Amino acid sequence: EEIEKGGYDHFMLKEIYEQPRAIQDSYRGRLLADQGLIKMAGVDDNLEKFMNANRIIIVACGTSWHAGLVAEYIFEDLARIPVEVEYASEFRYRNPVITDKDVVIAISQSGETADTLAAIKLAKEKGAFVFGVCNVVGSTISRETDAGAYTHAGPEIGVASTKAFTTQITVLTLIALKLAKEKGVFSQSKYHEFLTELENIPSKVEKALLSNDLIEKVAAVYKDATNCLYLGRGYNFPVALEGALKLKEISYIHAEGYPAAEMKHGPIALIDEQMPVFVIATKRGHYEKVVSNIQEIKSRKGKIIAIVTEGDETVKELADHVIEVPETFESLTPLLTTIPLQLLSYHIALMRGCNVDQPRNLAKSVTVE
Ligand code: G6P
């Protein structure tokens, strides 16, 4: 096992650090920037289905569901295709309206999650085209779907999903970009800019990982918290959910992710000097709005830990701690902003003496309903 951990103390840490490579592997051979092409057999062979889809329905559980939420922003924003994201367990018991004009995308690291599998079967029965995004090659979901794309993240052992999440987002971004181009929503030059920037992401993740020592210090300050709030807007709202899930899963601290603007409809009542609030406040997007959310937290004496774009001075003045990530296109920010939140949960869990790789009550793959 020590050999498998490759010199890291835990699988989770190893897998966090593998992300630059894993992301690269997830687009290798698919993203051909010099030719201005995205080649994905599962999509290419079924292009008509995607192009004629009335909507895309994404089904998944846990962290994969969060990747689905990020994909909702990506597909709608870039490719202008309506998307619904469903918890597989809710979808299947709701008598959902599905037709043969729908494309269903099932996202699953393990490819074995029982609820996701059942949702796929239901969608197929109703005539939808079902596309799988799985990590484990040959898994049940990869076999049960009509077509698919593997994430190629390599084995993920830590129960808390890390590299599976970022590679799922990468693969879904490739699909969205391809459809945006095919539909003519994207000009050739915009498309090129995106392909090039996607290729920059692994080195930017590498850079984000350099904050590890700082993050460890921040973790030491908040390790005894009993509640935490995670806020983000737009593309980074799902990142806030995922940040909170990571903390819950491995440190057993109660954490809630919320859309930043929705804070005033409830969670703001919880904010006092005891409450750490992790805010994703990267540039562009809804930056100014998030800054005003930060001011609201500050005036209620909440502790603010902000994930910001490199060189940000405004939030630094307001927050108790800032953690920087490199600048990128707004739609690609989740691939960077997720990194510090993963590291933060890791360090907090470790400091609390928790079993980081095998948290209590959780399983890597949930094959029961
Ligand atoms: C379990 C795991 C999570 C995972 C979820 C969905 O709860 O502990 O890490 O996100 O199942 O798993 P899947 O393999 O379908 O992505």
The interface predicted TM-score (ipTM) is 0.98
Q: Say if residue 9's pLDDT is above 80.
A: yes
Are 171 and 149 a contacting pair, CB within 8 Å? yes
116 lines ligand 1 (CB under 6 A): yes
For 117-130, give one letter per residue: b (16+ CB within 10 A) or e.
Answer: bbbbebbbeeebbb
Is 80 exceeded by the pLDDT of residue 35? yes
247 ligand 1 Cβ < 6 A = no
Catalytic residues: 364
How far is the centre of ligand 1, averaged over its atoms, from the C-alpha of 312 (Å)?
Answer: 35
Percent of the chain with pLDDT over 70: 100
Note whether 195 and 173 are within 8 A (CB).
no
How far, in Å, from the CA of 311 to the mean position of ligand 1?
35
Distance 366 CA to ligand 1 centre (A): 7
Q: Is 108 in the pocket of ligand 1 (CB under 6 A)?
A: yes
Which atom of ligand 1 is nearest to 64's Cα?
16
CA of 60, closest atom in ligand 1: 15
pLDDT of amino acid 157 = 95
Share of the chain above pLDDT 90, in %: 92
Distance (angstroms) between ligand 1 centre and the Cα of 103 equals 22
Looking at ligand 1, which atom is closest to the CA of residue 110? Answer: 14
- The SS3 of residue 133 is strand
Rounded CA separation 176/258 (Å): 25
Residue in the structure block whose two tokens are 């593998």: 18
CA 364 / ligand 1 centre spacing (Å): 6
Q: In this predicted structure, what is the pLDDT of residue 368?
A: 85
**pLDDT band for position 1 (cuts 50, 70, 90):** confident
**With a 6 A CB cut-off, is 64 part of the ligand 1 pocket?**
yes
Helix (H, G, I), strand (E, B) or coil at 267: helix
- The verdict on the CB of residue 117 being under 6 Å from ligand 1 is no
105, 57 contact by CB (below 8 A): yes
Q: What is the rounded distance in angstroms from the CA atom of residue 345 to the CA atom of residue 238?
A: 16
Between residues 93 and 202, the one the model is more confident about: 202
pLDDT at 258: 96
Q: What are the tens digits of pLDDT across the range 355-368?
A: 999 999 998 989 88
Cα 20 from Cα 205, distance rounded (Å): 6
DSSP conformational letter for 275:
-
Structure confidence by residue, pLDDT tens digits, 160-176 = 999 999 999 999 999 99
Task: State whether the beta carbon of 159 lies less than 6 angstroms from ligand 1.
Answer: yes
- Collect all residues with Cβ–Cβ distance below 8 Å to 128 and sequence separation of at least 6: 57, 98, 99, 100, 102, 103, 104
Per the prediction, the chain carries an average pLDDT of 96
Q: Report whether 219 contacts 341 (CB < 8 A).
A: no
Query: Looking at residue 155, what is its pLDDT?
Result: 96
For a pocket test of ligand 1, which of 169, 365, 368 has the largest count of ligand atoms closer than 8 A to its C-beta? Answer: 365
> Is 242 strand, coil or helix?
helix
Cβ(364) – ligand 1 distance below 6 Å: yes
For residue 262, what are the CA distances in angstroms to 236, 257, 321? 14, 11, 23
Instruction: Answer whether 302's CB lies under 8 Å from 271's CB.
Output: yes
Q: Per residue in 103-157, pLDDT tens?
A: 999 999 999 999 999 999 999 999 999 999 999 999 999 999 999 999 999 999 9
pLDDT of residue 142: 97
Mean pLDDT of 325-345: 98
Which tens digits make up the pLDDT trace of 192-202? 999 999 999 99
User: What is the b/e burial string over 42-54, where b = at least 16 CB atoms within 10 angstroms of the residue's CB?
Assistant: bbeebeebbeebe
Q: Are 353 and 244 in contact (CB under 8 A)?
A: no
Backbone angles phi, psi at 52, to 5 degrees: -95, 0
